[in-house]
Each structure stands twice: as C-alpha cells, then as structure tokens.
Amino acid sequence: MNLMISQLSSIKSRIILAIMMIGIGLNSCQKDKLTIPGNVGTVRFVSNAYTIENNTLDPLIVTLPFSLPIEEDAIVKISIDDQSTLLPGEYTITPAIPAGGLSINVPEGSTELSFKVSSLNNFDGERSLILKIESAAGGLSVANVDASTSITVKGNPIINPELRTSQTDIAFGSVTTNTTSESKNYVLTSVKLTADVVVTASENFEVSLDNVSFATTLTIPFATANLSPISIYARAVANTGTNQTLSGTITHVSGTLPVANINLSAVEYGNAAPGVLLKSENLNYTTPGALITASGGAWKGFSGIGSNPIQYISSGLTYTGYTSSNVGGALVMQNSKASSEDAGLDFPEQTSGVIYVAQMINIASAPTSADFFASLGNGAAGTTPAYYNRIYAKASGAQYSLGLSRNASTSPVYLATNLEYGKTYLVVTKYEFATNNSSMYVLSAGIPSAEPPVPSATSNGGAADPSSMTRIVIRQSTNTPLEATIDGYRIATSWKEAVGL
C-alpha cells in the first residue's frame, strides 16, 4: 500500500514539473514577440545634383528611394535649404514644400517618394534649389549619404542693359545761314532699360522722332525703347551769323548706363561781309562792230590791235534771275590762225581781299587742246598783263568743258561735268589775295543767295599775287576753233554784289 502511494506521488510530481516547464516556455515565447523589432529602411535622394536647362518644358522628377519596402508607416520631413537662390516665383514643386518644411506620411509597403520640379523660365542666369531630408520616423530613417540634393536651374542668358546708336558721327555738310540742313537719321537700340531715354542735342542742332517736329530734347519711355529699335532724325541749324564750322553732340541718357554720344558737324556759310560793286559792264553800246570802237575806248587793246578785232553785237545774252541779263548787247571773241586782238576793261585797282567776276558765257566752239580766253589782269591799260584766274575751254566729244587756272604756274582744273554748246551759263570766278586760292562757279539755272560751299573748280598755289589787280581781259589766240559770246560783267568784292542779289 505504502509502495503504491509513493509511486503515485512520484507520477504527480513529474506531471506538475512538466506543466511548469510548458508554462515557462509559453511565457518565454510571448516575451520574445514583444521585444524584438522588425526591419527599418533608410531614405535618401537618388542623386545629390540635378540640372534643369533653360526653357525645359517637362518637369524634373526628383526621386527618394527606400532601401527596402517599409514594414510599417513612416513620416519623412523634406525642407528647402536657406542657401537656395531660386525664388518662389521662379519655379513650381509638387507636392509643394512650405517654408517650415513638408512632413509626408508614407504608408507601409512604400518603396520611394518623388517630387516634380519645373522652372518658370522668368529669370536670367543660374539659380539653385537645395532640398534636404530633415528627419524620418516609423519605418524609415535618414540614410548616411545623399540626404540632400542641389538642383541647378538655368534661366535666360544674362543680358546687361544697353543703349547704343547706329552711328557715332554725323556730318551735315554746308548749310546756308538762317536755314536748317536736310535731316539725317540714325537708329537707337535699347536693351532691358529701366529708365526713360533722354535725347539731347547741343546748340545748333535738333532732333525729332517723326522728321516733322524738331526740338533740342526728346524723352522716350523705356518700355517703348525696349520694344524695338527707334529711328531718330537730326538736323543742323545755321543761325550764328558767322561763317564757321558748327560742332556738337547728341547725348542719349538712361539711368546710370554709360551715355551714348553722336558727334555732329556742319559748316555754316553765306554770312557775307558787305561787298562793293567795283564795275558793271552790260555792253550797252549803240553801233555793232569792233568792241574797242563801239565802247568809245572803254575797252582798250594791248595786243594785235585791229587784227581780227573783238566784236560787239547788239543782242545780249539772257540768264533768268541775273540782274544784267538781256541788258544791251554782248561781245564776241573768236580765235584765228592769224594774230588777233586782245583787250581789257579797267576797274578800280584792288590790292587785297577778294575779287569776284560774274559774266554770262555762251560757247559756240572749243579747240581740242585747251586754251584760255578770259581772265583778270594787272598793270596799266594798253600793256600786256600777267593773266590771273584764266578761264579755259576745250572740246569734249559733242560737248565742251570749262577749266580754271589761278596763274601761269598752275595747270587748269576742269569741271567734273561737261557743258553744252550754244547754252548760256552764269560763270563766277573768285580770286583771293594772300591765300593762294581761286575758285570758279558755273551755274546753269538759278542763283544761290549765298556763295555755294563747293565750287565747280578750284585752282590753288602757283606764282605770287600781283601787287594789284586792275582789269578784266579778253584774249584771242591762234588755237582754233574757239568762239565765245560774253555779256553782263559784274566785278565785286562779294558774292551777292557780283550776282546782283
């Protein structure tokens, strides 16, 4: 009996011990489940640098991959670094990131995040946008690398504000006193101006935007100037009352930009000093025939007197507007193979200054080799002079050309344009003492109120001036053929007196 009880007690103890061991095992398993964590992934940018080119239309995709599919929900906070230079109005980002950063809830099982970045292409140069991962929680942690990325965003090419003109110099040439020159235009080009353009012309010059209304100052709104190049017209104003070169500038000013300048020049002319009419010879005589006889001795021969004499005819030459036109008769000179008469008409002796001789000339024929037929002369009447301001004629095809020689030491200089036989021209010669300059003006129509700035021909240098000038001369040589009709002499010390204005 006692043995049975002992055996039963041993079996009970074993059962109790087994139950305890099972409990301990179950408790141990439960404890392990509560304390061992699952796997935590990392988050980073797939690249630490990106570039968005100018005028790129498609958005840039910025990806943040996870190291593994996350095993529980996570929170990732993304912010924009303060070192970014790209301004809010110059780009878009989706999802938007506010100033304090963006916290993104990431569901379990996700493998990445992404953003879309687009440039608005409304700035110049380059900007940067720096994104960074500030924190991650839950099923993600921040990776040790590529926790930030820098996006270089390229804008429009940098173009500096600029103001430029199509020309730097404008020359208006000669301008008659108390008139304005013909306008000349130039182009003003403006780039990215932020201040109006003020255009200012210096004294004696004016500017205009429409070539009608001129002023010394114009203002162009900068927005208008930036739109397209602008034509500006300029002109010279000759009103100083002095024959002189006019110099000036047009300035173009816009804010603090360098000033764009155009240099201007013009020559004012026509301010003649009061002149004196030294002699007027309209050849208004009574009887046609030899000039010396018809003029009653006013014309005096000095060579070949009476041989092929210079003739006087009763019908004069005409030139519209000339005060001596169609008054009295005219003289006719004609070269001959034999010795021919030369003669002169005295005027008050001149020892300095300027002598103008105006005369109507009509050439009927001219030699193939040049010869002079009219000039100024020095010395006493009846003596052979030295010839000054010689007027030459030579044939040129079906026409002829006139030339001028200051004295015996200078070759004749001819007009650039040939003249017509049988047509009357108003020819004005000019002799300047002390300057070595002689000029000739050949007019076919009209009479300028002021001496033209550019002569038809000029002859400079040569022999010294005579001590005085005393007469006009007609010379007939043996160089044939040469026949000319001359009328309406006016010898004076100014242009206006010479042409009778």
Q: Which domain-ending residue is among 94, 119, 154?
A: 154
Residue 405: inside a domain: yes
**Which amino acid makes up residue 216?**
T
**Peptide bond before residue 481 is cis, with ω within 30 degrees of 0:** yes
Q: What is the pLDDT of residue 188?
A: 97
Residue 6: inside a domain: no
> What single DSSP character describes residue 408?
T
Quick one: tokens of 50? 């990106």
Q: Same structural domain for residues 192 and 241?
A: yes
Q: Same structural domain for residues 194 and 248?
A: yes
Residues 6+ apart with CB under 8 A from 353: 432, 433, 493
Q: Same structural domain for residues 261 and 299?
A: no
Quick one: tokens of 144? 């040790």
Q: Which domain-ending residue is among 116, 135, 154?
A: 154
Strand 162-165 vs strand 205-208: parallel, antiparallel, or unpaired?
unpaired
Phi, psi of 31 (to 5 degrees): -65, -40
Residue 9: inside a domain: no
Residue 37 and residue 127: Cα distance in Å, rounded?
44
Q: What is the pLDDT of residue 15?
A: 46
How far, CA to CA in Å, does 487 sit from each of 305, 326, 347, 471? Answer: 21, 9, 16, 16
> What single DSSP character describes residue 227?
H
Please check whether residue 173 is in contact with residue 452, taking contact to mean a CB–CB distance below 8 angstroms.
Answer: no
Q: Same structural domain for residues 197 and 286?
A: no
Among candidates 42, 86, 82, which has minimal Cα distance to 65? 42
Please check whether residue 400 is in contact with residue 393, taking contact to mean a CB–CB distance below 8 angstroms.
Answer: yes
For residue 146, the domain's CATH number is 2.60.40.2030
Provide the b/e sequence for 9-45 (b: ≥16 CB within 10 Å).
eeeeeeeeeeeeeeeeeeeeeeeeeeeeeeebbbbbb
**Residue ranges, the chain, pLDDT below 70:** 1-38, 272-273
Residue 243: inside a domain: yes
Q: Same structural domain for residues 492 and 358?
A: yes
Among candidates 127, 192, 190, which has minimal Cα distance to 159? 192
For residue 314, the domain's CATH number is 2.60.120.200
Q: What is the pLDDT of residue 38?
A: 65
C-alpha angle 16/22/24, rounded to 5°?
Answer: 100
Q: What is the pLDDT of residue 462?
A: 86
How far, CA to CA in Å, does 375 sit from each of 365, 472, 491? Answer: 19, 6, 12
Element (H, E) at 24: helix 2-35
Quick one: tokens of 397? 């095809």
How far, CA to CA in Å, does 245 sit from each of 167, 172, 175? Answer: 20, 11, 10
Q: How many domains is the chain partitioned into structurally? A: 3
Other residues' Cβ atoms within 10 Å of the Cβ of residue 249: 13
Q: Which domain-ending residue is among 250, 269, 288?
A: 269
Q: Same structural domain for residues 302 and 411?
A: yes
Residue 18: inside a domain: no
Q: Same structural domain for residues 398 and 483?
A: yes
For residue 214, the domain's CATH number is 2.60.40.10
Helix (H, G, I), strand (E, B) or coil at 125: coil
Residue 7: inside a domain: no
Q: Same structural domain for residues 256 and 291?
A: no
Residue 378: inside a domain: yes
Residue 266 and residue 249: Cα distance in Å, rounded?
11
Residue 334 and residue 477: Cα distance in Å, rounded?
8
Its pTM stands at 0.55
Residue 34: inside a domain: no
Q: Same structural domain for residues 324 and 445?
A: yes
Q: Same structural domain for residues 319 and 389?
A: yes
Q: Same structural domain for residues 148 and 170?
A: no
Sheet holding 260-269, edge to edge: 169-176, 260-269, 244-253, 197-201, 217-220
Q: What is the pLDDT of residue 418?
A: 97
Domain limits at 489? 277-499
Q: Same structural domain for residues 451 and 485?
A: yes
